[in-house]
Amino acid sequence: MSHTVYVLEDRYDRIYIGQTKNLASRLKDHKLGRTKSLRNRGPFHIIYTETLESRIKAVQRERALKSGQGRTWLRSNIKRTGL
């Protein structure tokens, strides 16, 4: 079953990286304040998504993006390309 790694950006240009099996449902949870991590940080918008074939691969990719190099890659590539 596929999983999606996603990156959100809030109004202060801070990013949040997560992974989920159901992106629409997870985004709704974030928007409604059902997750502690983004409560009171909205509004936010999606700046990156990537679909992977398994939860294991999604967790690995999430960890890679959360690393210093991963965050640097996100900031330089996503902002530059305007995705």
Q: Which amino acid is at 3?
A: H
Q: Output the pTM of the full model.
A: 0.86
Q: Return the CA Rg of the chain.
A: 12
Domains and CATH numbers, the chain: 3-81 (3.40.1440.10)
Each residue's pLDDT expressed in tens, for the chain with a length of 83 residues = 899 999 998 888 888 999 999 999 999 988 888 888 777 777 888 999 999 999 999 999 999 999 999 989 988 887 655 55
Residue 1 contacts residue 54 (beta carbons within 8 Å): yes
In the chain, which ranges are continuous DSSP H helix?
A: 23-31, 55-66, 68-73, 79-81
